[in-house]
Structure 1
Amino acid sequence: MKKAWLMAIVAICSGVVFAISLFKVPPTMVLLMQEFNVSIAVIGLVMTAIAITSTVIALPGGAIMQKIGPKNMGLAAMACTLIGNLIGTFSSNFSLLIFSRAIEGFGFGLISLVVPTIIAAWFPAQKRGLPMAIWSLWVSIGMLIIFRMTNVIVPQFGWKGSWWLVTILFIIVGILFALIVRLPKEGEGANEPKLEQGEKVSLLEGFKSPMAWLLAIIFIAFGWPCAAFSGFYSTFLQQALGLDMAAANSIVSYATIGMIIGGILIGLLLNRIKNKNHGLVLIIIMALAAVFFYLQFEIKAVAILVPFVFASGVIQQLIPPTIFTIAPTAAGSPERIAATMGIISLGANLSGILSNTFTGPLVASFGGVWSKLSIFMLVITLVGVVAAIVLNMLLSKNYKAQSKVNPQV
């Protein structure tokens, strides 16, 4: 297990750098609007571009990984995002900045498939909950780092300082990933069917699982308001409440602290709760998320922002680990796990596209009144609650059928 944890830690740290690269935009969004002379209705395209290319690569990503192996795909993902980041560093106009983010998106979409595959290969099912939960924190940890570092770097080096930080971090994790990460040899790891280099996978087989698509729908319903929070909440605090950039970014960073705590708690909880009850857990936490997503643009009392943002972060981070834990069951067989992860990644990326494309224009159409988003966010999340209920019904049906064959299930 020491070797398994070493692989997991290096892979997860690599993912964190991708998250840092993704979220280097929100804390500098106001500066980018000034630098490139664009409005709130347009600046969201900088986040949308990365979500679009991540979505494009999500479904074929599983087949690519089967062809070249997860390690090679991880290195290709790092190279791709690093190149995009460097292009962005030297962007002289808004169109080039958007193009650079689109290049970054290909790597971001691939790494989201690579790390879970490495964890699944090294950890048996009964020990997979905690490393998967820690992996689900990659975005939260990346947000925490970049929102904190922005307040240190930007005053000295401007918005490009964050882009240079990403370049340095990618060089470091790229070397570590290349030297350390590998798939387990015979007798190591999970002792389950593994993805071998050159093995062919039919993506159509993965499309046959309705539960995989329900998980994707849930991720869209959760991810849309979640992306609105991570991408626009700092701007909301500055525009609606009059906070300066440093204060707004500092408040948002408390959400990432909550996410880290929430991710660890749900990982430990999922390991203690029987697999057949994970669907019920998902229903409960989606319902809680609906409440917090409704309130996120309603609360304007500065005194309670920090505890609210912290609690919201805890709730938000309960959902991805639960989805990832249910995913192998939704796949139906080990051979379909990569395709199922691709479907879930598709849902996650679509949520980013929808949120980053429409949140800004919606605020503009509301005359800058952010609170008018509240009902919209509530309705979207409730769609996810309904999908979770249907998913739980299908899971219960499957477990009942399995229990007839194996009473210990």
Structure 2
Amino acid sequence: MRNRWCILAILFVVRLTIAFQFQSVAAVAPLLQQTFGVGLADIGILIGLYFTPGIVLALPGGAIGRKLGDKSTTIAALLLMTAGSLVIAATDIWGLQMAGRLASGAGGVLLTVQLTKMGADWFAGREIATAMAIFVNSWPAGVAISLLVLPAIGTAYGAGAVFLTTGALSAIGIVLILFYQPPPATTASAAGSGRLDPLALLAVIVAGTIWGLYNVGFAMIFSFGPSLLVERGWSIAAAGSAISLVMWLSVISVPSGGFLADRTKHPFVLAIAASLVVAGLLAWLTRSDAVIAILVLGGLIGGLPAGPIMSLAARVLAPQTRAIGMGVFYTLFYAAMMLGPAVAGRLAKSAGTAAVALDLGALAVLACPPLMWLFERIVSVRDRRTQS
């Protein structure tokens, strides 16, 4: 298979399995609280544990993929994800739930880094923001599907059935990835130097921080949004369905943002404006009864910056530095996504409400625009030095 859009479709579906698995805890959080007798702080830790391996695995994950190859690395990652789901499904011990979550997260880390590199291999230099937006769109799609499907499965059959479902989807991903083929150009370039120059490294660090903070903010909606609505008297299923509106509408807004960024050539104007609006919506959601209206606006606007932000690293990475660069990028992302839910859960426990978590998310998104400006400054300096 050599059509890059067909390849992107495969990468999209395989990456969807990560989002589906990640969201499985938040989707049935009230059910887990009842089953295990835990609070919001424990749920926040369990959510964040999925990203904990990223701090130590994202950077070497790029090197592992470079050594073992795209297909072998992705299959190994999917096997880890499947095994982790099975461990969680088979035990009623909270400590083993955490161990299974870590195993699943380790697979998710390796898979995320490798799939992003594979997508950039096929689209670097041509429609990269559009392609990355479509690729990133697998996340809200996976989360939205899980919010609709998993609460119903959990209510009818129990938490174990939820995690068996996530394991089955990961196993399907193994079959799909067998159809992947690398682009011819990457084979020749893979043998080059894998070292990043200092300014490129700094730019990737800033880009990874932006992506991490934006996702922390956006993740508060679907991680703690269901609990917030349950506090207000909504049923678990109704809360999950309402929050899923954000993710379903993001399926439209994410590729729209990438398309607009490529066409207008002003990705930062789009990303900054959308970030400011999203921060406002997060703060408004905790203080208003207009839940559906806010969630609809969040879905329509919240996905716009995804493509522009995800294309940042590709702007400064050559084919031979792409694997290690994506490792750096995702190390920052995973650090933010590990700490964000855990801190939010602690604050929610102290305050006695999940609303505090969404306020934290608003602050995280507000930090993104100045970092976007910093990234542009670093790239400008690097370009001038390269040309001189």
Normalised to the residue count of structure 1, the TM-score between the two structures is: 0.87
Aligned to 1:222: 214
Q: Which runs of 5+ in 2 are unaligned?
A: none
Residue 252 of structure 1, CA deviation: 0.6
Cα distance in structure 2, aligned partners of 1:146 and 1:298: 26
Letter of the aligned partner of 2:320 in structure 1? E
Letter of the aligned partner of 1:123 in structure 2? F
Aligned to 1:364: 349
1:284 aligns with 2:252: no
Contact 2:258/2:306 (CA < 8 Å) preserved in 1? Answer: no
Cα distance in structure 2, aligned partners of 1:227 and 1:313: 12
Aligned to 2:261: 270
Letter of the aligned partner of 2:302 in structure 1? Q
Look up the SS of the partner of 2:333 in the other structure: helix
Per-residue CA deviation, residues 260-301 of structure 1 (Å, 9 max, x unaligned), is 111121121122122xx33343332322232223223222x1
CA RMSD of aligned residues (A): 2.4
1:201–1:108: structure 2 CA closer, same or farther, 3 Å change rule?
farther
Per-residue CA deviation, residues 226-271 of structure 1 (Å, 9 max, x unaligned), is 22222111011101x1111011001011011121111121121122
Contact 1:206/1:340 (CA < 8 Å) preserved in 2? Answer: no
Contact 2:208/2:333 (CA < 8 Å) preserved in 1? Answer: yes
Aligned to 2:14: 14
> Which of 303, 324, 331 is the matching residue for 1:317?
303
Aligned to 1:72: 72
1:193–1:314: structure 2 CA closer, same or farther, 3 Å change rule?
farther
Aligned to 1:297: 286
Aligned to 1:385: 369
Aligned to 1:119: 119
Aligned to 1:236: 228
Cα distance in structure 2, aligned partners of 1:174 and 1:6: 17
Look up the SS of the partner of 2:229 in the other structure: helix
Per-residue CA deviation, residues 388-407 of structure 1 (Å, 9 max, x unaligned), is 122233344556777x78xx
1:330–1:172: structure 2 CA closer, same or farther, 3 Å change rule?
same
Residue 73 of structure 1, CA deviation: 0.8
1:99–1:203: structure 2 CA closer, same or farther, 3 Å change rule?
farther
Segment drifting more, 64-73 vs 47-56: 47-56
Aligned to 1:259: 250
Segment drifting more, 145-154 vs 1-10: 1-10
Q: Counterparts in 2 of 1:95-106, with a 5 A limit?
A: 95-106=95-106
Letter of the aligned partner of 1:76 in structure 2? A
Look up the SS of the partner of 2:50 in the other structure: helix
Residue 154 of structure 1, CA deviation: 2.4
Cα distance in structure 1, aligned partners of 2:363 and 2:170: 39
Cα distance in structure 2, aligned partners of 1:390 and 1:124: 23
Cα distance in structure 1, aligned partners of 2:156 and 2:309: 41
1:83–1:207: structure 2 CA closer, same or farther, 3 Å change rule?
farther
Cα distance in structure 2, aligned partners of 1:62 and 1:193: 16
Residue 225 of structure 1, CA deviation: 2.1
Per-residue CA deviation, residues 137-183 of structure 1 (Å, 9 max, x unaligned), is 121011111111124322331122221222222222211212x1121
Letter of the aligned partner of 1:258 in structure 2? L
**What percent identity do the matched residue pairs reach?**
21
Work out the number of aligned pairs and report it. Answer: 388
Cα distance in structure 2, aligned partners of 1:327 and 1:230: 26
Q: Which runs of 5+ in 1 are unaligned?
A: 186-190
Per-residue CA deviation, residues 175-232 of structure 1 (Å, 9 max, x unaligned), is 1212x112134xxxxx467664xx4865665785221111122123212222222211
Cα distance in structure 1, aligned partners of 2:324 and 2:164: 34
> Which of 337, 343, 347 is the matching residue for 2:328?
343
Cα distance in structure 1, aligned partners of 2:189 and 2:226: 41
1:378–1:6: structure 2 CA closer, same or farther, 3 Å change rule?
closer
Cα distance in structure 2, aligned partners of 1:258 and 1:400: 40
1:63 aligns with 2:59: no
Aligned to 1:355: 340
Aligned to 1:250: 241
Residue 103 of structure 1, CA deviation: 0.2
Look up the SS of the partner of 2:330 in the other structure: helix
Normalised to the residue count of structure 2, the TM-score between the two structures is: 0.92
Residue 105 of structure 1, CA deviation: 0.7
Cα distance in structure 2, aligned partners of 1:111 and 1:194: 23
Residue 88 of structure 1, CA deviation: 0.7
